[in-house]
C-alpha cells in the first residue's frame, strides 16, 4: 500500500467492523483500516463512522468477500461495480479480494473455498481478476486463503500458483500471515518456506488474525486470540521484507478493548512499527 506516511507506509491498523467502531475511532495513531466491501452502500453518504475516519486522514480499504474471483464462471458484473463504487465512495488507495470461490452451481458455500492449484484454475482467476481490474479505479490486492482441505490433483505448489496469478494479473498481494501459519500447520510444512518463495515486494498489506483448533485442524477463525506463533511469523516476514502495513482482523466474539489494544501493540512490537493505541 502506498501513499502513507514518511516512508510510504501505514504501519499497524485494524479491520473496521460496526461492533468495534468506537474502539477503532478512538485509536490515536491509526492511519489505515479495512471495511467489508459488501457492507459499504454503493451510493448515498458513507456511513458516519467511516466518514469520520476518512476526515481524520485514515485510509479505508474495501475488502471484498463475495466476489468469487476463483469461480469458473465470470464474476458477476454487479458485484464488480459495487466494489468499484465502494472504492470511489471511500477514496480508497486500493481494494482487496480473495483467491477463492464462494459459490458454484447456484449454491452459496458461505465461506471462502480453495481452488485446485491447476493451470485451469489459474486461467479462471486471471480472467476474473482482469474483468475486475477493468472496472476498478484503483489497484487490487489478492489474498490467498486458509484451506482446510486441498484438491486431489494439484499441479502447482502454493508459491508457484500464487506467483503465477500475481505475475499474470499485475495484482498486489494481501498476505494473511495467519493463513500462512494455518496452512503450514495443517499440511505439516514450514511456514517460512512459503515466505521465502513469495514475491514479498508485492505485499500491499498483511492480515494478522487468531484461530483455534477443532477436530485436530487449526481453523483461522478471526474470533480467537492471535497465537504467539503467528506473531513470531510476523517477525519472520518483517525480517525478510517489512510490508508497508499490517492489520488485526477480528470478526466476532470481540474481546475487551484492553485485549484488542494488547494485540495491536504486539503486532507493532513484532513488526517494529510505532504503536497506534
Partner 1 sequence: MTGPGGGRSLADRQAALVAALVAGAPIPDGFDPRLVGTARRALLRKRSGEVARHWPVLAASFGARWPAVFAEWGDGRPTQGSFQDGLALARSLALTGAAAEELAEREKALRPRTRLSRLLRRAR
262 counts as binding partner 1 under rule CB under 8 A: no
Site size with partner 1, rule: CB under 8 A:
33
Contact with partner 1 (CB under 8 A) among 28, 44, 45, 105? 105
> Is residue 98 within a helix (H) or strand (E), and if so which, with residue range?
strand 95-99
108 counts as binding partner 1 under rule CB under 8 A: yes
| Among candidate residues 86, 102, 103, the one with its CA nearest the CA of residue 94 | 86
3-state SS assignment for residue 81: helix
**Cα–Cα distance, 218 to 9 (Å, whole number):** 31
Nearer to partner 1 (CB atom), residue 79 or residue 242:
79
Return the range that interacts with partner 1 (CB under 8 A); candidates 46-54, 112-120, 171-179, 225-233. 112-120
Report the interhelical angle of 158-169 vs 119-133 (nearest 10°).
30
For the record, the C-alpha cell of 183 comes out as 496452512
Return the range that interacts with partner 1 (CB under 8 A); candidates 33-41, 81-89, 116-124, 266-274. 116-124
Judge contact between 247 and 13, C-beta under 8 A. Answer: yes
Nearer to partner 1 (CB atom), residue 135 or residue 150:
150
Judge contact between 204 and 166, C-beta under 8 A. Answer: no
**Cα–Cα distance, 112 to 118 (Å, whole number):** 18
Distance in Å, CB of 169 to partner 1, minimum: 18
Site residues (CB under 8 A) for partner 1, limited to 23-82: 71-73
3-state SS assignment for residue 265: helix
Site residues (CB under 8 A) for partner 1, limited to 147-206: 148-153, 155
Contact with partner 1 (CB under 8 A) among 51, 104, 127, 159? 104
Binding site for partner 1 (CB under 8 A): 71-73, 101, 103-111, 113, 116, 118, 120-121, 124, 148-153, 155, 214-217, 219, 223, 252
Amino acid at each position: 500500500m502506498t501513499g502513507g506516511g514518511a516512508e510510504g507506509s501505514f504501519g499497524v491498523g485494524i479491520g473496521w467492523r460496526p461492533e468495534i467502531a468506537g474502539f477503532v475511532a478512538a485509536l490515536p495513531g491509526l492511519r489505515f483500516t479495512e471495511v467489508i466491501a459488501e457492507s459499504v452502500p454503493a451510493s448515498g453518504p458513507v456511513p458516519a463512522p467511516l466518514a469520520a475516519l476518512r476526515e481524520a486522514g485514515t485510509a479505508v480499504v474495501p475488502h471484498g468477500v463475495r466476489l468469487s474471483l476463483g469461480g469458473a464462471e465470470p464474476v458477476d458484473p454487479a458485484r464488480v461495480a459495487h466494489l468499484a463504487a465502494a472504492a470511489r465512495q471511500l477514496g480508497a488507495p486500493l481494494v482487496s479480494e480473495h483467491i477463492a470461490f464462494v459459490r458454484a452451481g447456484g449454491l452459496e458455500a458461505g465461506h471462502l473455498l480453495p481452488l485446485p492449484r491447476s493451470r485451469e484454475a489459474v486461467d479462471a482467476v486471471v480472467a476474473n481478476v482482469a474483468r475486475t481490474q477493468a472496472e476498478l479505479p484503483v489497484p487490487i490486492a489478492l489474498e490467498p486463503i486458509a484451506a482446510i482441505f486441498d484438491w486431489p490433483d494439484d499441479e502447482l505448489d502454493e508459491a508457484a500458483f500464487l506467483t503465477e496469478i500475481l505475475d499474470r494479473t499485475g495484482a498486489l498481494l494481501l498476505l494473511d500471515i495467519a493463513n500462512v501459519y494455518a496452512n503450514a500447520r495443517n499440511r505439516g510444512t514450514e511456514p517460512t518456506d512459503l515466505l521465502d518463495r513469495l514475491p514479498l515486494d508485492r505485499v500491499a498489506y498483511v492480515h494478522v488474525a487468531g484461530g483455534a483448533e477443532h477436530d485436530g485442524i487449526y481453523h483461522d477463525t478471526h474470533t480467537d486470540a492471535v497465537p504467539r506463533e503467528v506473531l513470531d511469523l510476523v517477525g519472520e516476514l518483517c525480517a525478510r521484507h517489512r510490508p508497508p502495513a499490517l492489520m488485526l482482523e477480528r470478526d466476532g466474539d470481540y474481546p475487551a478493548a484492553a485485549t484488542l489494544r494488547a494485540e495491536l501493540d504486539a503486532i507493532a512490537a513484532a513488526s517494529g512499527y510505532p504503536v497506534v493505541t
